[in-house]
Amino acid sequence: MKHSLLPMLAAGMLAYTAGAQNFVQISTGAGYGQQSFYRLEDDETVNLPLTSWDIAFSTIGLADAAIHINEGAASGTGALPALELYLSPSGGFSDPVDISGLTDRLFNDEKSWNAGALNSVADPGNPFDLGWGLYDPLSHAIEASRVFALKLRDGSYKKFIIESLAGGVYTIRYANLDGSAETTATIAKADFPDTELAFFSFSTGETLANGPEQSWDLTFCRYITPLDDGTGNFLDYAVTGILSGYGTETVEARGIDPATVEIETYIDSFQTDLDVIGYDWKTFSFTDGWVLPSDVAYFVKKADGHIWKLVFVDFEGSGTGTATFEKTDMGTLSSTQSPLGELTALSIFPNPAPAEATLAFTTATNLPLQISIRDVSGKTLWQAPLQATEGFNAIQLPVSNLPQGLYFLSMSNGNRTAVTKLIRS
């Protein structure tokens, strides 16, 4: 449904900068042999060879325990097979693993950075089950509960457990399937203060020193997703696509004129799924090669409310792995005024907040709202419903337990969302 923003724009409730445009080229290399981590505001790109890492550990907060596998594979000359992750049937890490028993292959779901392939086996009925380990509410540590086996790109295998996550430090133990060459490594979240993933290689036994040092918005990569084989069955297939970064929300506009499409039509439709852009912004034809539709655009919103429009105009395929897109700066939702037409005078004080903060606003009507506080990665740290009453409203915000830093407070009435910054000093 289209929602007009004209009254709000007239009132200054959305602030847009001039629509600066430029063309950007991102390459995943010949045969898709690398992954590219890209930042929208300055076109900063970090390229990582597929062979540089095997699994990635979440470094957000003390408790987040997501672990992802590198699903990339290269094609053509120098083809590189994908890693294969399995749930081991062995009872414990000391038990030998028989390759013939490795039947339960695990994948990332490409929906959230808060859960990866190693989390996919968690019991949904047990809130303490993180897949690779169980959370102990007394010690606040996560202890290993499952053994995994990984087929490396050279065809050899490693078995491993994530022994624990305690005090912000992961401990990983791994060995050959027969138990030989056992090794232990640690990954401290504190060593990665400005990014959300620590990339680990079994070949080196270390985390990547040259990974992305700051948050990124888009990852150009190959990953595995289930595709219909035409008979109603689904196959896990390697695709070349684009995944959204932490805290980034995306919406696809299809069947439109990319030059004239209006952001206000889609302002309420942003999604947090990583694969909204995904792989289907292009198709392959045996007669024409790679074909890009002329009626598709994407809007990408960062955690601070800044929005960009992307229109893909070219893809060179496996020869260079280069994608070309036009990027338009659509501006930022105002941090001091609300896009909720019913609200005025939205403010937080004091801000920066040393220990306590108050959210104040005025509404012309009684209004049910949902309030949330997110960190810069987009992770929700607190949320609560609020029944606002006509006139002035003031509520205390639970900021005393937040570490110092930048956060975003969101207020939603189900159709529109207002976002403002909250600084914990």
Q: How far apart are CA 329 and CA 315, in angstroms?
A: 22
User: What is the percentage of the chain residues whose pLDDT exceeds 70?
Assistant: 89
**289-291/234-244 β-pairing:** unpaired
Q: How far apart are CA 52 and CA 156, in angstroms?
A: 16
Return the higher-pLDDT residue of 313 and 62.
Answer: 313
Q: pTM of the entire structure?
A: 0.75
Average pLDDT, whole number, for the chain? Answer: 86
Q: How far apart are CA 56 and CA 253, in angstroms?
A: 31
232-to-226, 228, 229, 235, 283 alpha-carbon distances in Å: 11, 6, 7, 10, 20
Query: Which stretch of 216-220, 284-288, 371-375 has the lowest confidence by average pLDDT?
Result: 371-375
Please give the pLDDT value at position 1. Answer: 28
| Peptide bond just before 350 cis, omega within 30 deg | yes
Domain boundaries, the chain: 6-26+217-332, 45-207, 343-424
The DSSP code sequence of 183-219 is: EEEEEEGGG-TT-SEEEEETTTTEE-TTS-SS--SEE
Q: For residue range 280-333, what is the model confidence (pLDDT) as tens digits?
A: 999 998 898 999 999 999 999 998 888 999 999 999 999 999 999 999 998 875
Q: How far apart are CA 408 and CA 97, in angstroms?
A: 47
The torsion angles phi and psi of 214, rounded to 5 degrees, stand at -135, 170
The residue type found at 289 is G
Q: How many helices (H) and strands (E) does the chain have?
A: 1, 30
Fold of 343-424: Immunoglobulin-like (2.60.40)
